[in-house]
């Protein structure tokens, strides 16, 4: 955070931040395991990546309270790489993507997130909320000799009852006490109940065994040549783009929720460095995770300590606590994530769809749908393109001109608006060349020239009047407009 002390960043409300980190760690484990399995990797690679990235970004990042880990959006990117070239090429890709992320922050490009319009932010939040909820449905399926099928009978009823109980605890407990995070009470409470009643329900251990040792430093076993770079660079660039997008959008959301300001460039550098370390220690790549960030924030996690606690707890789960953690019912974690999805979704955006301009409503819906059916990077880029095209169209329509014929033998055009690629044609149509007198004044005091299309439009106007045997004089140019034309070699000094 900006202008905060070490104590402010680390030690406000110590107990609440430690408990928030513990709660978040429970939610990180199944997500990271699932994402590792999606990428066809050993689940420990997901857990190692979560520990390293979560802890390092919490310590060195620019946004206390935000949780990063082995994210699903990045796991999807690397499936083809792992299948075709193997794990070692993946680790090299993670290292390279981390370098690219760090360079993004070093070059101070984090401020580019300001270019993302608010409707795109709403679509991003809504899309990820739906993705989080849909991902939990996989836990209602089971493997059979005939393939995966939906749970039926007693297992389904038990699963549904435990999910409902978990959600009820999370919703009701804050009305009774706020001394402990409700998600933590729900997970532990449902876990104890399931254990002592011997309920027939799947546990975290059914998803994967998480016992392991300390991650070891190991340089990826790939040839250091151009052939390797040719293979891994496209994946690394895509991973970096997806990771930075999700991180910076979650960063903005966290700023808004906590009513504080973080340092986006510092977060990008820390994220990049943590991915480099993760790749060197055999972990997956990662970025900010909106679901786990929401759990941390709603549990009271605001300091760096909450993120460090979450990361360190994952390592402790791997080293010492796996027998206990593997007994946690998946239903408890599913219930918590359903609540997270419900709380993440911007329900207010549904009420404003009919009140905001149609193009903004279209952006919200488009980004939401594209996020669900493709990926975050595609959705955000599509949203920005739609918003940019709409902005250009609206500004192009605002181009107009006042005409002054008060002086004999002379006509003055006084255009208003921005002259750029979208408005250049309309700008040309404002001039009545056939009926204009021999002398025409173009008064540019209210005209802003934005790009090369503006220069080309002025040059074209000169040529049209010159061919018609009439004289065009440009006056009242701002210093910026005059410099723009002179740099392009357009002579505007003729009286």
Per-residue pLDDT tens over the stretch 56-85: 999 999 999 999 998 877 777 888 899 899
Q: What is the pTM of this model?
A: 0.82
Dihedrals phi, psi of 134, to nearest 5 degrees: -65, -35
Query: Do 368 and 430 belong to one domain?
Result: no
Query: Do 105 and 211 belong to one domain?
Result: yes
When pLDDT is cut at 50, 70 and 90, the band that residue 431 belongs to is very high
Query: Do 335 and 375 belong to one domain?
Result: yes
Domain's final residue, options 370, 390, 410 = 390
Query: Do 346 and 254 belong to one domain?
Result: yes
The verdict on residue 213 lying in a domain is yes
The verdict on residue 246 lying in a domain is yes
When pLDDT is cut at 50, 70 and 90, the band that residue 448 belongs to is very high
| pLDDT surpasses 70 at 2 | no
The verdict on residue 453 lying in a domain is yes
167: left (phi over 0), alpha (psi -120 to 50) or beta: alpha
Determine contact, residues 304/9, Cβ cutoff 8 Å: yes
How confident is the model at residue 116, as a pLDDT?
A: 84
For residue 80, the enclosing domain spans 6-390
pLDDT digits (tens, 9 = 90+) for 277-290: 999 999 999 999 98
| Mean pLDDT computed over every residue of the chain | 90
CB atoms within 10 A of CB 161: 14
**What is the C-alpha to C-alpha distance for residues 128 and 123, in angstroms, rounded to an integer?**
8
The two three-digit tokens of residue 437, written as one number: 């007198």
Residue 151 three-state SS: coil
The verdict on residue 1 lying in a domain is no
In 3D space, the residue among 54, 77, 58, 82 whose CA is nearest the CA of residue 1 turns out to be 58
Residue 403 three-state SS: strand
CA 410 and chain centroid, separation: 56
Domain's final residue, options 366, 390, 414 = 390
Query: Do 20 and 85 belong to one domain?
Result: yes
How confident is the model at residue 4, as a pLDDT?
A: 60
How confident is the model at residue 493, as a pLDDT?
A: 55
pLDDT digits (tens, 9 = 90+) for 88-121: 999 999 999 999 999 999 999 988 887 888 898 8
Helix 330-344 and helix 14-38, axial crossing angle in degrees, nearest 10: 100
- 453 half-sphere exposure, CB direction, 13 A CA radius: 14
When pLDDT is cut at 50, 70 and 90, the band that residue 488 belongs to is confident
* The residue to which tokens 């580019």 are assigned: 112
Helices (H), ranges, 177-225: 182-197, 204-207
CB atoms within 10 A of CB 111: 10
* The residue to which tokens 């760096």 are assigned: 304
Query: Do 373 and 478 belong to one domain?
Result: no
| pLDDT surpasses 90 at 267 | yes
The verdict on residue 383 lying in a domain is yes
How confident is the model at residue 44, as a pLDDT?
A: 93
**What is the C-alpha to C-alpha distance for residues 49 and 28, in angstroms, rounded to an integer?**
11
Residue 63 three-state SS: coil
Domain's final residue, options 371, 390, 409 = 390
How confident is the model at residue 318, as a pLDDT?
A: 94
Query: Do 60 and 31 belong to one domain?
Result: yes
- Residues 36-65 as b/e (b if ≥16 CB within 10 A, e otherwise) read beebebbbbbbbbbbbbbbbbbbbebbbbb
Query: Do 315 and 237 belong to one domain?
Result: yes
The verdict on residue 91 lying in a domain is yes
The verdict on residue 102 lying in a domain is yes
**What is the C-alpha to C-alpha distance for residues 222 and 211, in angstroms, rounded to an integer?**
28
Range in 33-42, 292-301, 316-325, 403-412 with the lowest mean pLDDT: 33-42
Query: Do 58 and 91 belong to one domain?
Result: yes
Query: Do 37 and 179 belong to one domain?
Result: yes
The total of structural domains in the chain comes to 2
Query: Do 131 and 227 belong to one domain?
Result: yes
Question: For the domain that residue 441 is a member of, what is the CATH number?
Answer: 3.30.750.24
Query: Do 268 and 346 belong to one domain?
Result: yes
How confident is the model at residue 492, as a pLDDT?
A: 63
3-state helix, strand, coil in the chain (%, to 5): 65, 10, 25
pLDDT digits (tens, 9 = 90+) for 9-19: 887 888 999 99
The verdict on residue 385 lying in a domain is yes
DSSP letter assigned to residue 318: I
How confident is the model at residue 167, as a pLDDT?
A: 96
Average pLDDT estimate for 27-46:
87
């Amino acid at each position: 955070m900006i202008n905060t002390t070490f104590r402010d960043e680390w030690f406000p409300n110590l107990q609440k931040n430690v408990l928030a980190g513990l709660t978040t760690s429970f939610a990180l484990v199944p997500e990271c395991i699932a994402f590792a399995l999606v990428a066809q990797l050993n689940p420990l690679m997901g857990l190692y990546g979560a520990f390293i990235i979560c802890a390092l970004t919490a310590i060195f990042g620019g946004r206390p309270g935000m949780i990063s880990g082995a994210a699903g959006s990045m796991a999807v990117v690397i499936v083809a790489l792992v299948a075709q070239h193997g794990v070692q090429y993946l680790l090299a890709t993670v290292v390279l993507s981390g370098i690219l992320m760090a360079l993004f922050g070093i070059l101070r490009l984090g401020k580019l997130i300001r270019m993302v319009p608010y409707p795109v932010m709403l679509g991003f939040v809504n899309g990820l909320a739906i993705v989080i909820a849909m991902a939990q449905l996989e836990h209602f399926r089971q493997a059979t000799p005939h393939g995966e099928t939906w749970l039926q009978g007693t297992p389904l009823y038990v699963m549904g009852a435990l999910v409902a109980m978990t959600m009820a605890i999370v919703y009701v407990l804050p009305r009774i006490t706020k001394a402990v995070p409700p998600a933590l009470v729900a997970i532990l409470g449902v876990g104890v109940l399931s254990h002592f009643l011997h309920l027939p329900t799947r546990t975290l251990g059914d998803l994967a065994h998480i016992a392991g040792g300390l991650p070891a430093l190991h340089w990826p076993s790939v040839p250091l040549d151009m052939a390797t770079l040719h293979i891994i660079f496209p994946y690394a660039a895509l991973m970096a783009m997806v990771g930075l997008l999700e991180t910076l959008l979650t960063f903005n959301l966290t700023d808004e929720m906590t009513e504080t300001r973080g340092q986006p460039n510092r977060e990008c550098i820390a994220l990049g460095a943590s991915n480099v370390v993760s790749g060197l220690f055999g972990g997956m790549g990662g970025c900010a995770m909106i679901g786990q960030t929401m759990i941390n924030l709603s549990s009271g996690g605001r300091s760096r300590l909450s993120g460090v606690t979450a990361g360190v707890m994952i390592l402790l789960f791997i080293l010492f606590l796996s027998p206990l953690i593997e007994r946690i019912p998946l239903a408890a974690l599913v219930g918590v994530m359903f609540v997270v999805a419900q709380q993440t979704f911007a329900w207010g955006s549904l009420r404003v769809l009919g009140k905001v301009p149609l193009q903004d409503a279209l952006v919200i819906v488009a980004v939401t749908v594209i996020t669900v059916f493709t990926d975050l990077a595609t959705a955000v880029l599509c949203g920005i393109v739609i918003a940019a095209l709409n902005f250009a169209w609206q500004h192009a329509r605002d181009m107009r001109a006042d005409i002054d014929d008060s002086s004999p033998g002379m006509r003055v055009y006084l255009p208003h608006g921005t002259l750029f690629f979208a408005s250049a044609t309309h700008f040309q149509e404002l001039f009545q060349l056939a009926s204009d007198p021999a002398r025409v004044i173009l008064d540019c005091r209210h005209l802003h020239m934005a790009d090369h299309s503006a220069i080309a439009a002025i040059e074209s106007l000169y040529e049209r009047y010159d061919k018609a045997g009439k004289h065009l004089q440009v006056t009242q140019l701002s210093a910026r407009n005059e410099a723009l034309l002179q740099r392009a070699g357009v002579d505007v000094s003729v009286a």
